[in-house]
Amino acid sequence: MKVLDTTILVDVLRNVPAAVEKLRALEAEGPIATTEIVAYELHHGIQHVGRRRRDAEAGRIEELLAQADVLPFDRRSAIRAAEISGELRRRGQTVGIMDLLIAAGALALGAEALVTRDASGFRHVGGLRVETY
């Protein structure tokens, strides 16, 4: 299973050709998933627009999320996030909190890879295979 980061889903919603093609290829390869953290980020990103547009965008987000398994952020994910944070702190490195939670969820739930446009937020997370497009 490959886990989709927020960036690829935003790009699919924006009809970015590279993202749309990558999503189609991933669906042909096997199961795809994302996380509830990504669902939060997607919905958070539309809160600044007017109600009518926000409702329309929320519908598009939910249609897109329905194409993947949306993985919970469970206790295993929380523990893995704490472990990653501790490892990074000992090495003097940091990762943004949302990227940390997404990476931890992917690792805790056995993802084969995390698919993103921007690998920089995940480069310090050990054991996480990152795939870009």
User: Domain holding 50: CATH number?
Assistant: 3.40.50.1010
Instruction: Indicate the Cα dihedral angle 48, 50, 53, 55, nearest 10°.
Output: 80
**65-94 residue pLDDT tens:** 999 999 999 999 999 999 999 999 999 999
Distance between CA 28 and CA 45 in Å, rounded?
28
What is the structure's pLDDT at 120?
Answer: 94
Q: Which residues pair with 70 in a beta bridge?
A: 34
What is the structure's pLDDT at 104?
Answer: 98
The pair of three-digit structure tokens given for residue 57, joined into one six-digit string: 């965008």
Q: For residue 107, what pLDDT band results from cuts at 50, 70 and 90?
A: very high
| Domain count within the chain | 1
Distance between CA 84 and CA 103 in Å, rounded?
9
